[in-house]
Structure 1
Amino acid sequence: MNKPFAVLLEDADGTQLETSCSRIAVIWQGKEIWIQHVGGNQLMIGVDVEEGDTEYANLLLRPMATNLVSLELEMESAEGYADEDEHEHGPDCQHN
């Protein structure tokens, strides 16, 4: 099991609640965006895909400033991925 990490939750009034967990999810645009500690100084961020989904969710991380990044959720049609012969493997497809 992954080592827990500290999480701060803040409401609209600025009140903070500190807790710890090994995995959290944010519901964003109807998808579960999971963040979990995977060892060392690393976090893994992923999107749950359910059977029957017609779109794949891609997370795009872009630098904005010295200490800021932008995380964008982009939906891509799942058509064409059903037939493996139609899929061209590249560095970003996450297939072995």
Structure 2
Amino acid sequence: MSTPLRLILEDTDGTQLETSCTRLAVVWQGKEVWIQPVGDQLLIGVDVEEGDTEYANLLLRPQATNLVGLQLEMEPMETETEDGHVHGPDCQH
């Protein structure tokens, strides 16, 4: 059983709504960025859809004492690995 995330959503006028969930997504640059707790860590992943020619890298960079920057970068997918494996719909990768 996973621990729920406590969320605080804030409108532009400063009104806050508190809620909770076990997993949440933010649509950013056309991709779903999923956030969920896994043990004592926070897992952040970007869903890859069939037919995608790029995959996403999430870069977390410190900005200040209590701030970080999160950047989504898209890179071309390689369909063949170094060992000659070609990714296809049945390879489960």
Q: TM-score, normalised by structure 2?
A: 0.84
Post-superposition shift, 1:2?
1.4
Q: Distance in 1 between matches of 2:76 and 2:6?
A: 36
Post-superposition shift, 1:64?
1.0
Which residue in the other structure is 1:65 paired with?
A: 64
Structure 1: which amino acid aligns with 2:14?
A: G
Post-superposition shift, 1:86?
7.4
Gaps of 5+ in 1: 88-96
How large is the RMSD of aligned CA atoms in angstroms? 1.5
Gaps of 5+ in 2: 85-93
Structure 1's consecutive aligned runs of 4 or more residues displaced over 6 angstroms after TM superposition are: none
Counting matched residue pairs gives 84
Equivalent residues in 2 for 1:1-96, closer than 5 Å: 1-40=1-40, 42-78=41-77, 81-85=78-82
Q: Distance in 2 between matches of 1:10 and 1:35?
A: 18
Identity score, percent: 69
SS of equivalent to 1:46: strand
Post-superposition shift, 1:85?
2.3
